[in-house]
Amino acid sequence: MALRRKGSAPWSLTKDAGLSDAPVSGSPFVEGDEVKPIIDAGYIDGDGLWQINPSNDAAFTFQAPNQALAAGADLEFPVNMLNHDILILALLDTSGNTINVDIIANNPTTLSGPYAPFADIGVNGSNRWRINKNDGSGDLESLLNNGSEVLVATWQFYKIIQVRGTQIRLVIHNNDASNAGTISTAYMRVV
């Protein structure tokens, strides 16, 4: 639907005619000029392919709830952060035990998208992502500051920033020698 546009006219017609005492005025309608609303949903890249503008996740993505996490075991799931910069991770332990976990961001084991050319040789999925950060550690585990995180029976949230362009495999490792956990996880990605 086309709308009539008002032009920006800081000086009235009498000012243009050379009269110095003319007031600064308003916004006359501009004839023959229309404003049409647009939606910027993407762009055409250098290869001529339509690319969608990334957006924030509208809701948390939940993994299978109440997964058993034995003492010394790992719980893993992939998160594609190619077009998102911030990851918000939610964890819940409903086992009744107070378990201690590490949250680790490892390299993916399945490569796709821009990482697909590396699939012929593969990657070591047990290696952690290394990123350049001001704290000097370069390790996502220490960026989260939870090399020893105690989970309890309430949702706990963790925000991981500056991970755009990565495909990560989140690993939640149970550090306890005897206590098992019942873990529920969810994540949300933000542009």
The percent of residues above 70 in pLDDT, for the chain, comes to 72
The backbone torsions φ and ψ at residue 152, rounded to the nearest 5 degrees and listed phi first, read -130, -175
170 Cβ contact list (under 8 Å, min separation 6): 76, 77, 78, 79, 89, 103, 104, 105, 106, 185, 187
pLDDT digits (tens, 9 = 90+) for 125-161: 777 776 555 455 555 545 454 456 777 788 988 888 8
Mean pLDDT for the chain? 77
Q: How many CB atoms within 10 Å of residue 168?
A: 21
- CATH number of 61-190, picked from 3.40.50.620, 2.60.120.680, 3.40.50.970, 3.20.20.150: 2.60.120.680
Q: Please name the helix (run of DSSP H) or strand (run of DSSP E) that holds residue 13, with its range, or none.
A: helix 13-16
Check residue 143 and give its pLDDT.
45
pTM: 0.67
First to last CA, the chain: 31
Check residue 170 and give its pLDDT.
87
48 Cβ contact list (under 8 Å, min separation 6): none
Domain residue spans of the chain: 3-38, 61-190
Q: Do residues 168 and 84 touch, judged by C-beta distance below 8 A? A: no
pLDDT surpasses 50 at 22: no
The residue type found at 127 is N
Q: Please name the helix (run of DSSP H) or strand (run of DSSP E) that holds residue 90, with its range, or none.
A: strand 86-93
Check residue 145 and give its pLDDT.
45
> How far is residue 170's CA from residue 188's CA, in Å, rounded to a whole number?
13
What number is the average pLDDT over the span 73-100? Answer: 89
